[in-house]
Structure 1
């Protein structure tokens, strides 16, 4: 009897269970080799669909394919528990044995979860969802499926040997080096194994569906060699320009050379403190390419705080490397799969299954993404996120403007980087002009000794000085009217002004206030999609290059790395890093004498829900008062290295005193680090369990992976990514996603759609839903804005949906 894993949609060909399990095992092993756990991941691959060795599943899949409109009920056929149960019964009974028990727990959890998300080993109700599945749940035909597995996939004796090799890998993984505790290591191992299984399973299924034997991937080493040569040609061409001998350009060249030399060091966690305007995008790319060649890395990944930098940096890199196909921009998750459990749909090629199989695993050689997406890979619920985790290993990862790591995520960020350094064989570069004190906090970053890539940072910063800070915040406040008058007054003296405010509301209000001015005026905010913002920035740059009058009013998204240079910048009070970054948009290339950056206190900004900006503002206010009293304080300059160090230490101390660096979950009154990494003796849930049940939980791991993921969101308000009908391309993408596309076309569309998405807050989504402002695509897995709710001036305009 031929047991069925999948039936191809196009020609109804069958993929047997044995073919699928062995195919997924091979792919999972190749992924596991990255961190030395090929038998652990291979074990998950070969067992994950063992439950398909049943007459019940065979009948189900045949009926589902023959009559998709009358598919069996959700959850009627459980095929993901059997593999986890086999591990539990054979290796997790009798006297506790650390190696075999932990292996069964880690791999078994991945197997039973591969259609949803990792289960809790112990949850707030003092129950073990993991044990309920692998130990307690009745399973039809279990003995039969186990026997078929040993007959068709691997003999029982060979299986025992395979498991012993996996246990050896586990013991090696749990040994030093790392400051991380065993529970932290096991959490990351669990997520890595889950990532490997999800990607291997979906890749094998997609290849079968597309009738391909294997994936064709470019040789990374050859590609990076070519890229490095093209980059060096470009850098040499800069030396032939008229302004090549200016002090700024000579400094940029020196810094770039230092990065090239530093690439010869071993992989580690390093800092790159190039001042704003110092050419850090190309300098860091030069390091990354040379280091990737020397250390055989598979990916170069740029992680940035705002999507505006993705667009600009990706375009700059694309032009220099003369390649588009191998450079991925990933702004947001267009597909909502946070609560998916698609086990009952396995075998039916509907819209949800096609989206699941679409290529979305960060396997590109060069990737640009955001800090939100990076953190979601490790900590958010949704198989689409965690599928990408293994591709963060064997990489060079550059965190551009790393000071923007959200305060609540500092500990989680540090843990992720420590894992990638110690086990993922990645090199991690903290790239910013304003280095945060990430090794100062309690759960510190394992930063390398002599970590700074640039020599004599203080002198370099002084050499790049192009602006002076003018304090107009101490002793006075501005409202929109006063600020509009100030802008009008300054436009008599300068050609261009950038105004950066803290909230979208005041940005929009100021824009409306001065739009009657007879000068080009532009508005930027995250309410606009990437393609829209990019077009506006191109227009702004055009005015700047022609030295025409222009005013741009923006939220903080323009600060971090956007290559624009204004004569004057007005910045609303915020953290010192934000002020320094805003200053970097003024006289950026040092072509003029020292220019002014004005710091104001805007009275109409509501920072109630923006605690990081609020605390940063208060600290800078005190520093400005200090400088008024004694100009020699804080290094004599608000932008000095000394001032920045003092600021970040006070900033993190403020949040640490409120226990907010470890991602505090108010509803549970717990830190996320406890849910994910507490050991048996410190876990409050485990202590409550022992007191309540009068016995110990028969598990080595007692952490709550799914509960933690359910409560994780990088920003305070949960957002939803939606497509926007901007321009002909945006409208065309939405129209195509409303049709019946192949998996290959969906993969291309989802990549293209990254430029045409924005994020909605919950209240915005609710308002739009009430007023028919949202369109549902792909069986509700993707949302798009209606054309009436998107404006050329403001992007998303919720008010428009009300009329």
Structure 2
């Protein structure tokens, strides 16, 4: 395994989940960087790009811990070596123990003035397929860089051709090296592109018995069933000696499943303890008390319907529970699928795209504590969020039980059939716009993760700190008429503010709380009317009026 030539600039790293792709990819990029410095006379930046913010924090911390070990003055000049950039990131630029003014820090971070940048697909792809000034600030630092795209299968399939063309031109015209990392190897590049695979005989690596950790099993031959029936089937199979992850396709069905399963199994809930943590703020003390208590099973809920702060608390608590051999049950949406380092004994997943199923299988038996753990696929009928083609293909391809050692062939077959049936050509209008400089009429249509409905941002005052943040926002920012001052003040508290903001898809049946400026606001006094600490925003509130 390794990069034997500097002439190949399209590189892939294909390996099963949970085998250390992050460290392997970073190591390859650092070695490539050293070779370019010694043989070509320049030192490229490394841009590490990921699909979701929740996994950026995890990977950023891994990279940061490595750099602290190998760079002597890292702590004094941290931002010169490493920054993270996304809409929730800390905007303080740390160098030579100086306090850099916020407006300067913002410019340095937004223009990626660092040796290694950890960022999102949105920040990276909207910078190379865009024309807005705030994204283009960093373009000069993308040229000549080493670009790692991790969990690349999360790029929507309809954009594969556009992304392929952009990456090929970045490598040929801007001297960039591209490293694509994935467990499912989407067909963004084909054999004609002649990419260099970092793992020798990657297909054989998947077939190794020591990483044959899971088997996909169909629940009742994927016959569509009501949620109550699926819960009954789960309860008949439930064993309190196992930890479980159950992934539903929609927020509404995940909440229903959580509420009904909790009652059916008479389980204690995590939120009973979380309320004390939010009230008193002593996270470590409460976690230790819970771990020391004789509680082996708790049920957790996770989705974007709850605040980012609560999602963080729950993921961290789950990690600690599993590390201490407790047996939690997590009911979740797709928010848990990619990159989050959790390891359950058994996974149940609603029918969806095959690559999503294989991603969630990566949250099962990662450490191979069992011989071959089960990933059970059921069909609740709620597949429309993925369109008609992909769930149908999954159902067609998974026509029998499939062990992990056969995932490589399975996913290749799936992607080939998907490309035949799904429109990946339509978005090429964006590429034509780039070639013809039609930025406003065509390129502006590029939106990596498209929203199909209007969204409302809601600030939820779940604890005392949230109240302080809201007072800051309301008194200092929303009333500030000077745009430059308002932007600067907002940048100071943005990270804390966003920890309490959820985005809700609006429809005529949903009652929204009070709107103040551009954001809706749920105060602590009004919390129970609009928000459940257990499952988040109450979309059925209109029934109470």
TM-score bracket, normalised by the shorter chain, equals: 0.7 to 0.9
The SS at the match of 2:163 is helix
- Is 1:571 aligned to residue 312 of structure 2? no
Q: Which residue of 2 aligns with 1:662?
A: 426
Residues of 1 paired with 2:466 and 2:168: CA distance? 39
Contact 1:501 1:556 (8 Å CA) reproduced = yes
Q: Deviations over 1:264-314 (max 9, x none)?
A: 745612110121111111111222233234334453323222332123222
Aligned residues of 1:576 and 1:644 also touching (Cα < 8 A): yes
Summarize the alignment of residues 672-711 of structure 1 with structure 2, pairs less than 5 Å apart. 672-677=430-435, 703-711=437-445
Which residue of 474, 488, 493 corresponds with 2:235? 488
The aligned counterpart of 2:144 is 394
Aligned to 2:279: none
> Which is strand-richer, 1 or 2?
2
CA shift at 1:504, angstroms?
1.6
Distance in 2 (CA, whole Å) between partners of 1:493 and 1:393 is: 54
Counterparts of 1:411-450 in structure 2 under 5 Å?
411-440=161-190, 447-449=193-195
Partner of 1:456: 201
Aligned to 2:223: 476
Quick check: 2:433–2:443 contact (8 Å CA) kept in 1? no
Give 1:473 shift: 5.1
Q: Secondary structure at the match of 2:440?
A: helix
Q: Distance in 1 between matches of 2:458 and 2:118?
A: 19
Equivalent residue in structure 2 for 1:282, among 11, 19, 23 = 23
Corresponding residue to 1:651 among 375, 393, 418: 418
Kindly indicate whether the alpha-carbon contact (under 8 Å) linking 1:362 and 1:388 is maintained by their aligned counterparts in 2.
yes
Q: 1 or 2 for the larger relative contact order (CA 8 Å, sep ≥6)?
A: 2
Equivalent residue runs for 1:607-756 within 5 Å: 607-611=383-387, 614-625=388-399, 627=400, 639-656=406-423, 660-663=424-427, 671-677=429-435, 703-714=437-448, 715-717=450-452, 722=457, 724-725=459-460, 727=463, 730-738=466-474, 739=476, 747-750=491-494
Q: What is residue 64 of structure 2 aligned with on the other side?
A: 318
Hey, what does 1:268 align to over in structure 2? 9
2:207–2:406 contact (8 Å) kept in structure 1: no
SS in 1 for 2:370: coil
Task: Verify the 8 A CA contact 2:247 2:331 in the aligned structure 1.
Answer: yes
Residues 609-661 of structure 1 deviation map (CA, whole Å, 9 limit, x = unaligned): 432xx422111211123x48xx9xxxx878432222111011111114xxx44
- Whole-Å Cα distance in 2 between the matches of residues 719 and 263 of structure 1? 49
Question: Any idea what SS the aligned residue of 2:384 has?
Answer: coil
Deviation at 1:543, TM superposition (A): 1.8
User: What is the Cα deviation at residue 734 of structure 1?
Assistant: 4.3
Q: CA deviation at 1:439?
A: 2.6
CA drift of 1:510 comes to 0.6
8 Å CA contact 2:345–2:364 kept in 1: the answer is yes
Against the structure 1 CA distance between its residues 395 and 595, is the aligned structure 2 distance closer, same or farther, given a 3 Å change threshold? Answer: same
Q: TM-score, normalised by structure 2?
A: 0.75
Question: Per-residue deviation at 1:355?
Answer: 12
Q: Compute the displacement of 1:523 (Å).
A: 1.4
Bigger mean CA deviation after superposition, 586-595 or 752-761: 752-761
1:433 Cα offset (Å): 1.0
Partner of 2:53: 307
State whether residues 431 and 443 of structure 2, in contact with CA within 8 Å, keep that contact through their aligned partners in structure 1. Answer: no
Return the index of the structure with the highest Cα Rg: 1
Partners of 2:307 and 2:145 lie apart in 1 by: 29
Deviation, 1:499, is 0.7
Distance 1:742 1:354 in 2: 16
CA distance 1:379–1:265, change in 2 (3 Å) = closer
Q: 1:598 to 1:772 in 2, by over 3 A?
A: closer
Tell me, which stretches of 5 or more residues in structure 2 are unaligned?
Answer: 37-41, 69-73, 90-102, 268-296, 478-484
From 590, 598, 606, give the equivalent of 2:368.
590
Q: Are the counterparts in 2 of residues 305 and 372 from structure 1 also a CA contact under 8 Å?
A: yes
Q: What CA distance in whole angstroms lies between the structure 2 residues aligned with 1:376 and 1:367?
A: 16
Question: SS of the counterpart of 1:262?
Answer: coil
Conservation of the 8 A alpha-carbon contact between 1:571 and 1:600: yes
Cα drift, residue 529 of structure 1 = 4.2
The DSSP-based 3-state class of the residue aligned with 2:447 is coil
Distance 1:495 1:767 in 2: 39
* Residue matched to 2:117: 367
Q: d(CA) in 2 for partners of 1:490 and 1:557? A: 25
Does the CA contact (< 8 Å) of 1:479 and 1:602 recur in 2? Answer: yes
CA-CA distance at 1:416 after TM superposition: 2.1
Equivalent residue for 1:294? 35
SS in 1 for 2:221: coil
What is the correspondence of 1:52-63 to structure 2 with a 5 Å cutoff? none
In structure 2, relative to structure 1, the CA distance for the partners of 1:784 and 1:382 (3 Å cut) is: farther
Contact residue 354 and residue 411 of structure 2 kept, 8 A: yes
Specify the SS of the correspondent of 2:212: coil
Q: How many residues align?
A: 469
Tell me: CA distance 1:529–1:275, structure 2 relative to 1, closer, same or farther (3 Å). Answer: same
**1:43 aligned partner:** none
**Structure 1 residue 553, shift from structure 2 partner:** 1.2
Q: Distance in 1 between matches of 2:162 and 2:129?
A: 8
CA spacing shift, 1:585–1:377, aligned 2, 3 Å: same
Indicate which of 252, 257, 269 corresponds to 1:505: 252
Contact 2:222 2:378 in 1 (8 A): no
CA–CA separation in structure 1 for the residues paired with 2:443 and 2:539 = 30
**Structure with greater helix percent:** 1
1:673 counterpart SS class = helix
In structure 2, how many angstroms separate the alpha carbons of the residues matched to 1:746 and 1:753?
9
